[in-house]
Every structure is written in C-alpha cells, then in structure tokens.
C-alpha cells in the first residue's frame, strides 16, 4: 500500500515536471511564424499599455490629491520633501509621456524596422520603470508599514497585462528585483521580517513568472492555431476554386460531348439524336398544341451512286445536299437533321400546306441545280431527291412519331410515282374520296 502511494506521488511529481518543462519550452514554430507572433504580441501590448497608462494616470492623480490633502492637514511645510509625492508625480509624468509616445507611434502608418525596434525598446523601458518604481515605493514602506504590497501589485500587473517571451519577462523582472532585494537590508532593520520577505517574495515571484508563462504560451498557441486555421481555410479556398475550375472544364467537356453526340460528323448538322432532343425541347417549352410540318427527304438511287462512284464521292453528295438544304431551311427558322444514311428530316412551325409544299419543291430544285452527275440514276443524269410531307398539330412525342410515319409514307409515294418529286401525305386519299 505504501509503495503504491509513493508511486502515485512520483507520478504526480513527474507530471508536474513535464507541465513545467512545457511552460519553460513554450510553443515551437518556424522563425517566420515566431516573427509574426512577435509583431502581433507587440500590437496587443501597445493597446494594453495605452489602457494601463490611462489607469495609472487616474490612480496617481488620486494618490497625489490624497497626499497633498494629508500634507496640508498635517501642516507639512515642504511639499517637495515628501518622497512619496515626488514618486507619484514621477510616475504620473512618465505615464503621460508614454501615452503620448504611443499615440504618436500609432499615427505612423508605414514605420520602418528601426522605428519599430526603438519603440518596442521604449515600451519595455516603461514597463521596467513601472516595476522599479514599485520596488522603490516598497523600500520606503519598510520604514512605516513593513509590507511589500506596491512591489507585488506592480509585478502582478507586469506578469498578467504584458505579454512577453521567457527571455523578455526575465529581463523585465531583473531590475525591480535587484533594486528590492539589494535595498531591503538598508531599509528593513528586523532580520526576521527581512528573511520572511525574501522567502515570500521568492515564492511569489516564481508563481508570477509561472502565470506569465502560461498566459503567454496560451496566447501563442491560440495565435498559431488561428494562423493554421487561416492557412487551412486558404488552402481549402484554393482547392474549392481548383475544383470549381475542374468542374467548369468538365461541364464544358460534357457540353461539347453532348453537342458532338447530337451532331452528325459528316454533315455537321444535327443527327437523329439531335432531332429527338430538339423535338423534346420544343415540347417542353411550349404548352399546348402547335402546328408542325415535317418533311422527309431521300436522295434518289443513292445505292447505285455509291456502287459506281465510290463511298467517298457518296459522302461528298451527302455533304453538298446537307449544305444546300441548310441554306434554304435556316432563314425560315426551320430545323434540318440527318436521319440516317441518305435520309434527311426537316421541320418548320406554323406554316400552311401550300407554304410547306413550295419550300419542299424549292429544296428539290436546289439539289437538282447542284448538277452532280449521276449516270446510273433511273430518273435523270443528275443527283435528285424525293420528299414526303406531313402537317399536323403536335402536343406529345407520339404525335411526332405519327407525323414521321406519315411523312415516310408520303416519301414512299414519291418514290413510287417516279422520284424527283414532292408528295404530301393524304393527297391521293383525298383525291379518291377516302
């Protein structure tokens, strides 16, 4: 049992030592980050010292008033022989000078590194002066009160309010401690009180230093964590921008692929899939019925042309026909697509049958006028086309299928009736009275 208790005590002591070492070591970072921390700590200390100087000025003004009132009440003849009053005035004057110095420095927008170092040195001197001032007051108190309150309060203020690295805080401690510890034997006649002061002040200083380290290291850790968070957010923002750029590129690629999937490679006009996409868009964008005229075109005797002139020449015929038809259909807000092989489909909206027929016949004549030789055509010695037309109201995709079927039947009639002609679906049936 005793061994277990002893082990726990050793463990607790080791933990304390580790925490103390952590406090002594402080945060680790790159030289660039440590320099940024120093600048940030400087700005924080500047604001704290401004506020502290104002408080000191107010407090010292009150102490001077109390001291003057007491001096006059006791009929003290020489005010300047009052050491406390002189010290209060000295601290008041130094605080006013330092406050003006800090306001002057803040008005400098772009200060040099040399100006920064000199001002930082001035700030440290003011803090050090404040500590030494407390030591002097404490030495004077030994003759009357015997306490060390002034020194203790000043050291606590320096430790808590002023953020500083371990090296800097020790430098700030040395002057006031040296003044007090060296001067105590000359002002305190009681040996027991003197020894008590040394022991109590040593313990007190250690905990002040420890508190100072904990506050500084905590601030430094928060500063580095905030910096790390900003860096992470910056990297994340860059990554998001990169991903957005990639997504935008992918979107463009997908749009291009979609476009290519809708375009016939040979003629550069919409293919059958492009035709279906166009129809679906029209149905989605228009509510209710719409009058649609659909023309199905086929190049006459195209197999014979390929067999005798070759497929390359056949491709040229298809390209030329597509270009010629597109020149006629595009100005009329029509739509042309290659439906497959030598077949094309054309669409116009809100036209009457006569207008559609004249357009189809104009297309037929334009293809004939291209003058492409076709010696093996059963119609004539040129490349010709046959066209079937169907017009109707469209509201659903099934209506388009119906128009396609009827236009294809009209095209079949044009082929049977001698080719190189235009047929409208239902004409023959109407003539027969069906």
The string of DSSP codes covering 164-210 is --HHHHHHHHHHHHHHHHHHHHHH---HHHHHHHHHHHHHHHHHHHH
Phi, psi of 27 (to 5 degrees): -70, 145
CA dist., res. 64 & res. 263, Å (int): 95
Helix axis angle, 31-73 to 191-262, nearest 10° = 140
* 342 is an active site residue: yes
Residue 108 backbone dihedrals phi, psi, to 5 degrees: -80, 110
Helix (H) or strand (E) segment spanning residue 61: helix 31-73
Separation of alpha carbons 87 and 201, rounded Å: 23
Checking 22-25 for CB contacts under 8 A at 24+ apart, the result is 22/217, 23/210, 23/213, 23/214, 23/217, 24/166, 24/213
Q: Are 78 and 26 in contact (CB under 8 A)?
A: no
Q: Tell me if 111 sits within 8 A of 39, measured CB to CB.
A: no
Give DSSP secondary structure letters for 211-233: HHHHHHHHHHHHHHHHHHHHHHH
Active-site annotation holder among 38, 226, 248, 342: 342
Residues 6+ apart with CB under 8 A from 202: none
Looking only at the bridges linking them, the beta strands covering 343-349 and 335-340 are: antiparallel
3-state helix, strand, coil in the chain (%, to 5): 75, 10, 15
In residues, how long is the chain? Answer: 434
The DSSP bridge partners found for residue 294 are 347, 390
> Residue 296: beta bridge partners?
345, 388
Pairing, β 335-340 against β 290-299 = unpaired
Q: Which residues are catalytic?
A: 342
């Amino acid at each position: 049992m005793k061994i277990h208790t002893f082990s726990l005590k050793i463990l607790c002591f080791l933990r304390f030592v580790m925490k103390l070492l952590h406090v002594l070591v402080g945060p680790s970072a790159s030289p660039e980050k440590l320099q940024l921390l120093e600048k940030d700590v400087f700005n924080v200390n500047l604001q704290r010292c401004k506020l502290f100087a104002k408080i000191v000025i107010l407090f010292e003004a009150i102490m001077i008033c109390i001291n003057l009132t007491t001096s006059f009440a006791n009929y003290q003849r020489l005010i300047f022989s009052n050491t406390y009053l002189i010290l209060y005035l000295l601290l008041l004057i130094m605080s006013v000078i330092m406050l003006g110095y800090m306001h002057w420095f803040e008005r400098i927008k772009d200060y040099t590194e040399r100006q920064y170092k000199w001002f930082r040195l001035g700030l440290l001197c003011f803090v050090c002066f404040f500590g030494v001032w407390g030591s002097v007051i404490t030495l004077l108190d030994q003759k009357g009160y015997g306490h060390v309150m002034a020194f203790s309060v000043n050291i606590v203020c320096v430790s808590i309010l002023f953020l500083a690295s371990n090296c800097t805080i020790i430098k700030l401690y040395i002057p006031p401690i040296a003044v007090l510890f060296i001067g105590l034997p000359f002002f305190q006649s009681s040996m027991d009180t003197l020894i008590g002061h040394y022991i109590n002040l040593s313990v007190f200083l250690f905990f002040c230093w420890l508190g100072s380290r904990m506050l500084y290291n905590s601030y430094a850790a928060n500063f580095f964590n905030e910096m790390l968070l900003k860096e992470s957010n910056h990297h994340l923002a860059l990554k998001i921008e990169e991903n957005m750029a990639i997504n935008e590129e992918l979107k463009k690629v997908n749009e291009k692929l979609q476009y290519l999937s809708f375009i016939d490679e040979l003629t550069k006009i919409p293919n059958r899939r492009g035709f279906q996409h166009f129809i679906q868009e029209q149905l989605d964008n228009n509510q209710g019925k719409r009058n649609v005229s659909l023309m199905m075109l086929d190049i006459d005797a195209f197999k014979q042309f390929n067999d005798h002139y070759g497929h390359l020449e056949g491709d040229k015929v298809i390209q030329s026909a597509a270009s010629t038809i597109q020149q006629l259909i595009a100005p009329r807000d029509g739509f042309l697509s290659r439906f497959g092989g030598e077949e094309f489909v054309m669409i116009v909206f809100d036209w009457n049958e006569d207008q559609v027929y004249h357009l189809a016949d104009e297309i037929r004549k334009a293809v004939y006028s291209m003058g492409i030789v076709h010696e093996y055509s059963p119609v004539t010695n040129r490349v010709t086309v046959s066209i079937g037309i169907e017009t109707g109201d469209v509201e659903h995709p099934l209506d388009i299928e119906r128009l396609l079927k009827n236009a294809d039947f009209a095209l079949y009639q044009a082929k049977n009736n001698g080719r190189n002609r235009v047929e409208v679906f239902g004409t023959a049936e109407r003539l027969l009275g069906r």
